[in-house]
Amino acid sequence: MWLLHWLPNWIFYAVLIAGVVGLVISYFVRFLSFIPFVYVYKTPIQLVSIIAIAIGTFMSGAIHDNDAWEARVKEMQDKVAAAEVQSKEENVKIVEKVVTKTQVIKTRGEDIVKYVDREVVKYDTKFAPGGECEIPKEFIKALNDAAEAPK
Amino acid sequence: MKYIALLLMVGCSTTVPVTMKFPEAPGNLVMMPCPQLQKVEEDAKLSDVAKTITNNYGTYYECAVKNDAWIEWYEKQKLIFEGIK
């Protein structure tokens, strides 16, 4: 509440107390008849006191509510900060896992290519175009069609 | 009177003081799109066919790792986000 940022809290408590004191005094005004000022302004004092009590009560509630919200905001800020740290930690774990698995896949691929270069090349002449067991064009076409990305 | 009502309403208005940043992606590696699969030349040798298939399997598994990473990222971030409330 913007008013609470402008004025210190004690002012509103003071208004409340002043209102209560003013109202009490106005009820005991008959005993204070020796003070003419109080007696003459009894009704205005009561009116002002009631307004002061209303404002003081309202603002006391607002202060309490504001404090509760500020505590809640602080709690949420702490939770968000902790969540951001946790999020980063989880990201680090995920990245480590991705890097490790990708490295394993690359290494495995390289090993298999080495194996192909060592063992499968022996059959290259046998499966060469015009050779004993030529690879059919349909086979190549099927492989390439499967490798084609969907449009 | 309407000014007093307006004043009271303004007194209750507030901005949102707590905001959470959108969680960051798990590194640049997973941000790269999956590459195209390799194709075999028409006059390819058997070993070339075997290598192309091997490379394509590798590409698939690398892409699968990225996909799994995003799924894990989403589940973890969801848990963290729900933990705040």
How would you write A33-76 as a 3-class SS string? CCCHHHHHCHHHHHHHHHHHHHHHHHHHHHHHHHHHHHHHHHHH
pLDDT at B16: 63
Note down the domain range covering A108.
Answer: 2-112
Any domain includes A55: yes
Question: Is residue A7 a part of any domain in this protein?
Answer: yes
- Pairwise CB contact (< 8 Å): A113 & B81: no
pLDDT at B73: 96
* Residue B1 domain flag: no
- How many Å apart are CA A75 and CA A81, to the nearest integer? 10
**What number of helices (H) and strands (E) belong to chain A?**
5, 0
CB–CB contact B83 A83 (8 Å): yes
CA distance A21 to B18: 41
State the total domains in chain A: 1
In-domain check, residue A78: yes
In a domain, B6, yes or no: no
pLDDT of B8 reads: 53
State the pLDDT at residue A141.
93
pLDDT band at A49, cuts 50/70/90?
very high
Length of chain A: 151
Query: Which residues, given as ranges, of chain B have pLDDT below 70?
Result: 1-16
Lowest mean pLDDT among A3-17, A21-35, A110-124, A129-143: A21-35
Classify residue A126: in a domain, yes or no.
no
Does this complex have an ipTM over 0.85?
A: no
pLDDT on residue B2: 58
Q: What is the pLDDT of residue B27?
A: 85
Residue B5 resides in a domain:
no
Which pairs with CB-CB distance under 8 Å and at least 24 residues apart come from B24-29? B24/A87, B24/A88, B24/A91, B25/A91, B25/B73, B26/A90, B26/A91, B26/A94, B26/A95, B26/A98, B26/B69, B26/B70, B26/B73, B27/A91, B27/A94, B27/A95, B27/A98, B29/A95, B29/A98, B29/A99, B29/A102, B29/B66
Would B24 be classed as within a structural domain?
yes
Q: Which chain A residues are Cβ-neighbours of B58 within 8 angstroms?
A: 105-106, 108-109
Mean pLDDT of A109-114: 96
Closest partner residue to A102 among B11, B14, B62, by Cβ? B62
pLDDT of residue A38 exceeding 70: no
> Closest chain B residue to A137 measured between Cα atoms?
B42
Tokens found for residue A98: 């991705």
Instruction: Flag whether A29 is in a domain.
Output: yes
pTM: 0.72
More confident residue, A32 or A22: A22
Residue A54 inside a domain? The answer is yes
Distance from CA of B1 to the nearest CA of A (A): 15
Phi-psi region of B27 (alpha: psi -120 to 50; beta: other; left: phi over 0): left
pLDDT of residue A43: 85
A126 contacts in chain B (CB < 8 Å) = 46
Question: In the prediction, which pLDDT does B19 show?
Answer: 83
Shortest distance between the Cα of B34 and any Cα of chain A, in A, equals 11
Higher pLDDT, B50 or A5: B50
Euclidean distance between CA atoms A151 and A109, whole angstroms: 28
Using the predicted structure, report yes or no on whether residue A4 has a pLDDT greater than 80.
no
Shortest distance, CA A34 to any CA of chain B (angstroms): 39
pLDDT value at residue A8: 84
Average confidence (pLDDT) over A81-110? 95
Q: Tell me which residue has tokens 């309490």.
A: A64
What is residue A57's predicted lDDT score, i.e. its pLDDT?
Answer: 93
Q: Which domain holds residue B54?
A: 20-84
Residue A89 lies in a domain: yes
Average per-residue pLDDT in chain A?
A: 89
Is A10 part of any domain?
yes
Number of independent structural domains in chain B: 1
Q: What is the pLDDT of residue B4?
A: 55
